[in-house]
Structure 1
Amino acid sequence: MVNQSIYNSVLDLACELVNSSSAELTQNYWHAYQKLNELCEMHKGTSKDHPLQWEALADYTRNNKQALNIYLIAIEVATNLNLSEYVASSQLAIAERLLEAGNKYEAISWANKADENALRCSNLELRKEISEFLLVSANNT
């Protein structure tokens, strides 16, 4: 379970990022992004470290290579905390990024890993998202 204050901080910063994603608010976006990055780094390796913050940071990272590396951190933290739902969620996010970048077969591989981990959790919506991703990806071969 994620610490409520960390959850609220991540949620607030994510809302700020969404609300400032337009071109004229670029400075606000990067300010909020930097605050989220600082939050992640501050909690890294501590009892407050949680995959939610890392996945959120990766979600708002515009550079695909950097985002993929951050998702891997989220997976590592989730694995250490035995949070299969977060492992699966980050793996699906990697699959989505890879598909967007044109790496279809690698994307499907990551989605299959996500599917395996999602079977260990009770989040039916996540399991549905993964299944839909796999169906759409497989049909576009």
Structure 2
Amino acid sequence: MSNIARFLSISAAFLLGACASTQDSHADLDSSRWYMTGEHYRIADIALPAFTLEKQGDDYKIAGTTGCNEFFASAAVSGDKLTVTTPLAMTRKACGEMSYQIELEFTQALEEGLTLVDDQWQLSNGAVMARVPSSN
């Protein structure tokens, strides 16, 4: 086998493996639940955002709470980015000042997209969404 043929074979195997690992890493996001850790805000007695991702065809449904209001939208995952692809639908309850500030920052971050860093979704303001451990 020539060096060029060997190089092409190895390259093809590497690319196919990379594609498979991307698909596998997204497969475990279906029905995954995420919560905002308290490290960024360092506050007590205020509910923080949480959401669930559910697979719908090639995309996801994202639904959860901002800590005060409920929301849902369609979302897509590409590489290490989670992007909301439709406008957020939300309830409109009155929230306290701090809850409203967290809600505003969270919804803005969702619109900008979250980045997967060390198995946690990172918001643009530095807040982190960690996976809720499965009960299995």
Q: TM-score, normalised by structure 2?
A: 0.27
1 or 2, which has the higher helix percentage?
Answer: 1
Q: TM-score, normalised by structure 1?
A: 0.27
Find the structure with the greater CA-based Rg.
2
1 or 2, which has the higher strand percentage?
Answer: 2
Q: Which has the higher contact order (CA 8 A, sep 6+)?
A: 2
